[in-house]
A and B are shown apart, each in its own frame.
Chain A
Amino acid sequence: MVSEQTDHEHVARGADTSTPVFERSKRSLLGQIQHALHNNPTLVPVLILLASVLVFAIATDGRLINGLAIKITLEQVSIVGILACAQTLVILTAGIDLSIGAVMVLSYVAMGHLAVTYGLPAPAALLGGFFVGMGLGGISGLLVTRVKLPPFIVTLGMWQIVLATVYLYTGSQSIRSQDIDATAPLLKLFGERVSIFGWEPTILGAPIIYAVVLMIAIFALFSYIMRQTAWGRHVYAVGDDKQAADLAGVRSDKVVFSVYVVAGLIAAVAAWAAIGRVGSISPSSFAEANLDSIAAVVIGGTSLFGGRGTILGSLFGALTVGTFATGLKLAGADPQWVLFASGCLIILAVALDQWIRRISA
């Protein structure tokens, strides 16, 4: 028999023996929204996009929902959209790539000059451009991972170096659209209308160009890669907490390096599409593409602190900026207001992001 003195469990005998459950804390409506947004990071940019489409559809008496308006918005978004995909990868690692636009410009300058000036066959010229993009991404990657410089500084420097190279090499002269047509029409592939065995698909009667299809394909591809592959999960892990990722066996420096190379490659693909879209090889175009791509990523709900956000969010972010641009112009606003509105959107998006992160889940 156990005496009362040695029976240490007697106090527990009267206690509740049911399995403990988490008590559902009572959230306010706002809290519930906050929670839902926290769990579905893509929801915010989707809602912002839908809201802006709705607002501008009303403000323009429906003129925004028109084949031509949609076509132009998609085409104007396509190049910066592709760059935004690359930018998302870099920002997810808690980095930033200020050089992405310049890398694209140097890539297409290389493609154009290899094909038109030096007479290389178009596929070889394209390959040359891809190597330029990857090489420049690789340099940034090495400086970030080996020399341990902050990504902001590395890519700020690369931005200026690459842009200066563009101007020095080209003397700020464009290659004319007509000269490309004559020597290497393949370079302008992405400016062509989509045609499947002679059938040309349309959006509300307006034709689609390959650059738009390319943008959507790249987003689909990387959305899959980021969710379903080890590399994609590693990128998130490194961006969220590099030390923890290292301890978990992720070779984080290698992952970060590869992200910059992949970003450079995507920029070079964007370069190919840009030749098709713009028509000529224009060294002075896309001067602010880097900032535009960052804006798309931020509006798309990706955190600048890394590890949080989605690839698709950036697509919606880019589309939102495009909707604003087209919508404001259709509504008759001066070009200055597009700039103004885009600035407001960025601040709104980041403020929203901060608010969602403050959640005590």
Chain B
Amino acid sequence: MNIRTLIAGSILSSACAFAAPALAQSGDVSACLITKTDINPFFVKMKEGASAEAEKLGIRLSSYAGKVDGDHESQVNAVETCIADGAKGILITASDTAAITDVVKRARDRGILVIALDTPLDPVDAADATFATDNFEAGRLIGAWAKASVEDPANAKIAMLDLNESQPTVGVLRDQGFLEGFGIDTADKSRWGDETDPRVVGHEVTQGNEEGGLRAMENLLLKDPEINVVYTINEPAAAGAYEALQSAGRAGEVLIVSVDGGCPGVKNVQEGIIGATSQQYPLDMARLGIQAIAKFAETGEKPKASEGLDFTNTGVNLVTDKPVDGVPSISVQEGLDRCWG
């Protein structure tokens, strides 16, 4: 889930026209990729994956990208264009996950395979399939790693740096996953902030950027200057938290963990600023999506969800150079090779 553009989108929500579809390969089967924007590195990687796979399989791919995030109406237009175009399948990262379902239903009624990428629709079964990162697992991995890496987990003091006040699903999943991984009772799993474990010093919101991370960390340090584990929603927030710890003179003593796997973030893991981060793979989401459309065009078979989940997990890896027993991880070098942005 891309946090950076969430913010851009909430601001720039006025109508902006979609860029003309970029036509790739010609072929019998055609597919559409609709992303929120094409400036965010996360979606750039997604488009890269879709284009490469489409070329390989001889699928004609039309890519649509709104100029700004939150541009729902243009996504509706794009789906309608894809229907008119006779597309076999649509890959979509929805800006408005509930509102898009009407037009998605129209597409599915026409026999088009609709796959939600990265962001599940609301409800999740409004799409034929969802290819996304298991954000709960992403959180659980860093939680388990932190538990194994901190000196005295029973007396840890944990700062939780979350996304924003409205508690979007992605933020809740990562937060609660982390707590479960650390072995803390999460109470109601559908929201953060209701935990009673005294090890959790507090939750603060960061808007997923550096300034927010800094501010949130400062506030929590004020509450308890002895914090020694910091969970962050993404790597920019982690970078901000590190600044706050640095000016408090605690930079070296605190474990920071994060989620995303963008290149600057992995570089921060390399330099020891972030202890470990869970890396997600936008390229794989799109690549697997195109493969699924090709298969659907050939056999009519729809992709199945991963076991125990209501979506297809496209994989998440813990990136760290300090691996611990019982928590699978990949090296920073491998993380750098596979990072996006």
Q: Report whether B264 and A174 are in contact in the complex, using a CB–CB cutoff of 8 Å.
A: yes
Known: A76-B218, A174-B236, A285-B210. A278 touches B264 (CB 8 A): no
From A101, which residue of chain B is reached at the shortest CB distance? B11
Query: What B residues does A283 contact at CB under 8 A?
Result: 4
| B273 interfacial contact with A, CB 8 Å | yes
The number of residue pairs between A and B whose CB atoms lie closer than 8 Å in the complex comes to 119
CB of A12 closer than 8 Å to a CB of B: no
Judge if B30 is at the interface, Cβ distance under 8 Å.
no
Q: Does B240 contact A (CB under 8 A)?
A: yes
Chain A residues with CB below 8 A from B8, complex form: 163, 167, 172, 284, 287
Q: How many residues of B contact A (CB 8 A)?
A: 48
Residues 3-23 of B, flagged 1 when their CB comes within 8 A of A and 0 if not, give 011011011101000000000
Let me know if A336 and B4 touch, CB within 8 A.
Answer: no
Interface centre among A167, A326, A334, A339 (most CB of B within 10 A): A167
* Cβ–Cβ < 8 Å partners of B273 in chain A: 178
Distance to closest chain A CB from B258 (angstroms): 13
Q: Is A72 an interface residue (CB 8 A)?
A: yes
Contact between B341 and A285, CB atoms less than 8 A apart:
no
Q: How distant is the Cα of A287 from the Cα of B205 in the complex, in angstroms?
A: 14
Chain B residue numbers with a CB within 8 Å of A76 are 215, 218
B215 partner residues in chain A, CB cutoff 8 A: 76
Q: Does B58 have its Cβ within 8 Å of any Cβ on chain A?
A: no
Q: A72-B219, A164-B67, A278-B243 are in contact. Are A174 and B210 (CB under 8 A)?
A: yes
Residues of B within 8 A of A191 (CB): 243, 247
**Structural contact, B218 and A171, CB atoms closer than 8 A:** no
> Does any Cβ of B come within 8 Å of A231's Cβ?
no
Q: Does B223 contact A (CB under 8 A)?
A: yes
With both beta carbons as reference points, the residue of chain B lying nearest to A102 in the complex is identified as B11
**A167-B39, A171-B44 known; A75 and B4 CB under 8 Å?**
no
> CA–CA, A286 to B8, complex, Å?
11
Partner of B236, one of A159, A178, A284: A284
Which of chain A's residues has its CB closest to B246's CB? A279
Whether B341 lies near A279 (C-beta < 8 A) is: no
> Is B165 touching A280 in the complex (CB atoms < 8 A)?
no
Given contacts A163-B8, A330-B223, contact A278 B271 (CB under 8 A): no
Interface CB pairs A-B, < 8 A, 20: A69-B222, A160-B14, A163-B11, A171-B41, A171-B341, A172-B4, A172-B39, A172-B41, A174-B239, A176-B239, A178-B271, A178-B273, A191-B247, A277-B214, A278-B240, A279-B246, A282-B240, A284-B8, A287-B209, A335-B203
For the A-B complex with A280-B210, A287-B7 known, give 13 more contacts whose Cβ atoms are closer than 8 Å: A68-B222, A68-B225, A72-B219, A72-B222, A171-B39, A171-B341, A278-B214, A282-B211, A282-B240, A284-B7, A285-B209, A285-B211, A336-B165
* B residues neighboring A (CB under 8 Å): 4-5, 7-8, 10-12, 14, 37, 39-41, 44, 67-68, 165, 193, 203-205, 207-212, 214-215, 218-219, 221-223, 225, 236, 239-240, 242-243, 246-247, 262, 264, 267-268, 271, 273, 341
Seen from chain A, the residues whose Cβ lies within 8 Å of a Cβ on chain B are 68-69, 72, 75-76, 159-160, 163-164, 167-168, 171-174, 176-178, 191, 209, 274, 277-280, 282-287, 326, 329-330, 334-336, 339
A-B complex: 6 closest residue pairs judged by Cβ atoms: A285-B211, A282-B210, A279-B243, A284-B209, A285-B209, A284-B4
